[in-house]
Each structure stands twice: as C-alpha cells, then as structure tokens.
Structure 1
Amino acid sequence: MKLSDAGWSNVAFRVAVPAIVVAAATALACPSPVKAQSADLVLCDRLAADPSDPDKPADVKGAPDIAQPDIATAIKYCAIAARSSRRALYQLGRAYAANRQLPEAAAAWRKAADKGSTSAMVELGVLYGTGSGVTKDEAQARKLFERAGEAGNPRGVANLAALSGGAGTPSDPARARELLAKAAETNAEAQYQLGLMMANGTGGPKDDAGARNLFEKAAAQNHAGALERMGAFAQEGRGGPKDSSAAKAYYERAAALGDEDARQALKRLECPYAIKDKRGNLFTTLCF
C-alpha cells in the first residue's frame, strides 16, 4: 500500500506499422476464439499490476509500488478496464491507495473482493485492521483474511496469523504455518511468508536452513523480498554458507525490483565502518 518500455527507434516504427495494420485487419476479418484484452486493461496492467496478485497473468511483470508519475494515468485506465475486469478493479484500488485516496481504494477493493479477488480481500482487510480510510473493525479484517487464506492467498494466511480476532481470540500461527506449507509447494509469496515464519520461529520451531531453502526457491522466481532475505542470510551465514559476493548479488537484484531494505543493505556494504561521537551517536561512515 506495495515502467517503462524502451522506446522504438524511428526505423523500427516505420517497419512495424504495416505489420500492425495487417494484423489488425486480419483480426477483424477472422476474430480469434480467445478474447483479446482491451487496450485499457493492458495499460492498467502495465502501470498498476501487483506481482503477488494470483489474478495477474504470467506475462505481466507488475511492480511492488506504482510509480508516482504513473498514478493519475493508472487511475484513468484502470477505472475504464474495471467495468469488465476483476483484476483491474483491484489495480484501481492500488492506484487510489498510491494517491492516498483511501476511501476510494476501499470502495474499489470491496467491489473486487465481492467478485472474488483474494488480493482485494487482503488489502481491504488491512484497511479494516488499521482503520485506514474505513472504521477500524478487526472482526471484519479477520473475515477477509480468512476468505483470502481459504482461497489459497498466502498473504491472507500470513495476515490472519498476525491478527488477534474479536473477543480476545488469539491468532493461530501454527495453523497459518500449516496453510502456508501447502501453498508454498508452488507459490513464491507463500514460500517467502513461510520462510519468514521459520526464520523467526513463529508457529513452530525455528529453522534457518529451512527458511533459507524457501527464500532461495522464491528468489529464483524474482521475489524481491526473498532476494533481500537471501542477501541477508548469505551475508550472515544463516542456514548455510557465508558468502559476501552472493549477498551483494542478491541485494542488487532485490534493489532493482524496488526493495528498499535491499538498497539500504547495499549502502551498508559500501560504507561498513561507522564513526560515532562520545555519546555513541553516528557521526559519519567510511566507504570504499
């Protein structure tokens, strides 16, 4: 609440236009049995898709956060695409949230959740859990996380584990860990979330080696958070061999995907020596 293509050269554009025209004419003459995506949805995906959204097509990259200059355009095209697309409704909510229009984000996510978007259920649950843009309601947040978790969304499971329910009902991290273990067989986000629980000893025994294995699987799928964790584990030698070169490479990949923790870790690698004053306050750092 978390893009641009390389421009064509003039030569490429002159060559490509006839091909596009021919393709368009052919499509009109011989409609494809596969429903084509609208231009509005394509633009909405390009600007506002969420990498962890189960509804996202495999060929859509997505980004953890919507770029500031793209927010208004994302709202415009996602609002049009949302008339016929559950995914676009969820992405419209992301764009509104990025623009700090939380009531509008909540409305879009509520409609998307009603249509079955588990990502919208999670985000709407976060709003209810924190009281952001809506009246705080932990019971409602819990219901939304449960719906998302039961449908296989790992973020729903993880948030459910962290949330205390109504009437003092404790969260059930052991159950959450069990559900995540099933989802982690195929899902990078679940692998990452389960890895965090194992690394912290939440809901079961602490297992650095098991956590590192899960982070490595998710990192292989370019999960930014898992790449950052792999960097930290490789740097510290947690759950496996210590490897400073590998740590830096993981941090660089995570930072390229927008992970702020990885960016900070890279800075610390470049400037590892801290100079403090007599009171112990940071004065400066030495870089190399």
Structure 2
Amino acid sequence: MKRALRRILFCAALAAVVPAPAHAQSADLVLCDRLAADPSDPDKPADVKGVAEVAAADIATAIKYCAVAARSQRRAMYQLGRAYAAKGQINEATAAWRKAADKGSSSAMVELGVAYGTGTGVAKDEEQARKLFERAAEAGNPRGVSNLAALGGGGAPADPARSRELLGRAAQTNAQAQYQLGMMLSEGSGGARDDVGARAMFEKAAAQNHPAALERMGAFAAEGRGGSKDASAAKAYYERAAALGDEDARKALEKLRCPYVIKDKRGGVVTTLCF
C-alpha cells in the first residue's frame, strides 16, 4: 500500500514539472484548421494540410469553431475570414482579416490588400493595397511578394529586382516562394540569369511536392540546364507532377512517349509515332 502511494505521489510530482507538449491545441482550433486552413498560410503548422476553398457544407461549422479559436489564435481569425468569404459575407470577412492583420497575419494582410485593390467590401484604394502587400512581403509571404510586383499602380512599374530580393527571404522556408524565385532566376528577371540557382530552388520546392516545380525539374533534367542531363530523372519528375495535376508535365510525358511527329507539306501534324 505504501509502495503504491509513493508511486502515485511520484507520478503526480513528475506531471507537475514536465511541461505540456508545445503543439497541444484546443479542439476548436483543430476543427477550425481542418475545415478552413489555407494551404499557403505561413502560420499554418506543417502537419495541417489545409483546403483550397472552404466547402459549402463546412461553412457554418467552420465559422462556429474558428470564432472560438480566433480569441487566442491569429491564424484562426484569418480562417474565420475565409469561412465568412465562402459564405458571401464580405463585410464580416474583411473585418476578421483586419483583426488578424493587426495581430501580424501576413495572409490576412494579403486578403485585405486584395479587397482594397479590387474594391471588394471596401472602397477601392490601391495605395492601401500596396502598403498591405508590402507588409506581407516583408514578413516573407510569397503572395504578398507576387501581388506587390503585379500591382504597380500610380504609374510606377513593378520592380522585379525588389520582388527577387523579397522572394529570396521567403524562399528560405516556403515552397511557392522557392518556385517563384526559381522562375525569376531562370528567366533573368530582376537580375542575372542563373540556371544553377534556379535548379536549386526548383529542387527544394519539388522536394515538397510543388507540382509546377516538379515539372520545371523535369524540364531542367531533360535539357541539362543548371546541372546534369538525365532523361530517367526527367521522366520521374514529370510523372510526379502529372500525378498532382500539372498539365504541362502531362504533355511532356506524352512527348516522351511519342517523340516523332509526322507532318504534311503545310506543316500540319498528320500523326505521331509512339513507343
């Protein structure tokens, strides 16, 4: 009996000094993440998959749980805005995004910037949109970078060099930024062309199953750009990209399968020879 009591007291003392797991989350946040997390949100934990759009059948549930989780989590406030937007409640969505942006959510800054840039739910204000995109870009959000580059506005041209610099920061951790920076490096946009650097960026993004980066790795491996030429590796990259829905990769695989094209005297394709 005494031994059992000592064991209970020991376990209780151990529980008191061992901290709870840092990743422990409330049930409300777990459900909010499951139904409304944005796959591209830098705030999203790596083990949360996210959804491209909040499903119609999940909107009411997402609003319910995200509203509770938003009291303590900025990403939940951003996700609450996504759920409201999916329901067509734009005023509620922009209000949630404004609160999340004030708490530092770069994804909320981007959505709010889009709202100002298009005049959706708020008075159109491109200067305000620019400021929001700049804040998001400085925080390393790839969409903030690309939207800032595309916005221009006020007669000022987009600044590829600045976009390339900002993408370089975001590319340290983000697959989309790695892909975008790879494209700029491969095209010589915003600086010198760098096939080796581009291939390195595509390879990093491809390792995270980024479809377009996988397709680019296939092309670079097929052509020997920025590294060795490897037909087998190219095919493998194309197959992975095509499996994820990349249309360019699917076409590339078809060309590998049917490399010979027979044309008529006008240059029209008559048929292809396939293996």
Moved more, 229-238 or 188-197: 229-238
Partner of 1:179: 166
Partner of 1:84: 72
Structure 2: 5+ residue stretches without partners: 1-11
The 8 Å contact of residues 251 and 263 in structure 1, kept in 2 or not, is answered as no
One-letter code aligned to 1:145: F
Q: How does 1:157-176 map to 2 (within 5 A)?
A: 157-166=145-154, 168-176=155-163
Q: How does 1:59-70 map to 2 (within 5 A)?
A: 59-63=47-51, 65-66=52-53, 68=55
Distance 1:221 1:149 in 2: 21
Distance 2:164 2:134 in 1: 14
Question: CA, structure 1 residues 56+236, in 2 after alignment: closer, same or farther (shift >3 Å)?
Answer: same
Partner of 1:130: 118
Q: How does 1:1-288 map to 2 (within 5 A)?
A: 33=20, 36-63=24-51, 65-66=52-53, 68=55, 71-72=58-59, 73-99=61-87, 101-166=89-154, 168-235=155-222, 237-254=224-241, 260=245, 262-263=246-247, 265-266=249-250, 269-270=253-254
The 8 Å contact of residues 107 and 136 in structure 2, kept in 1 or not, is answered as yes
Deviations 1:145-179 (A, max 9, x none): 1111222323322322222143x223322122123
SS of 1:50's equivalent in the other structure is: coil
Q: When the two structures are aligned, how many residues end up with a matched partner? A: 256
The 8 Å contact of residues 173 and 202 in structure 1, kept in 2 or not, is answered as yes
The 8 Å contact of residues 71 and 98 in structure 1, kept in 2 or not, is answered as no
- Give 1:106 shift: 2.6
TM-score when normalising by structure 2:
0.73
Distance 1:232 1:95 in 2: 38
* Identity score, percent: 74
Question: CA, structure 1 residues 78+208, in 2 after alignment: closer, same or farther (shift >3 Å)?
Answer: same
- Give 1:205 shift: 2.1
Question: CA, structure 1 residues 176+264, in 2 after alignment: closer, same or farther (shift >3 Å)?
Answer: closer
Question: CA, structure 1 residues 268+195, in 2 after alignment: closer, same or farther (shift >3 Å)?
Answer: closer
Deviations 1:51-95 (A, max 9, x none): 3322122332334x1364664243443233223221111122333
The 8 Å contact of residues 48 and 62 in structure 1, kept in 2 or not, is answered as yes
The 8 Å contact of residues 179 and 212 in structure 2, kept in 1 or not, is answered as yes
What is the CA RMSD across the aligned residues, in angstroms?
Answer: 3.8
Question: CA, structure 1 residues 201+134, in 2 after alignment: closer, same or farther (shift >3 Å)?
Answer: farther
Deviations 1:122-159 (A, max 9, x none): 22222322344443321111100111122232332232
The 8 Å contact of residues 235 and 247 in structure 1, kept in 2 or not, is answered as yes
- Give 1:214 shift: 0.7
TM-score when normalising by structure 1:
0.70
Question: CA, structure 1 residues 130+215, in 2 after alignment: closer, same or farther (shift >3 Å)?
Answer: farther
Partner of 1:8: none
Structure 1: 5+ residue stretches without partners: 1-25
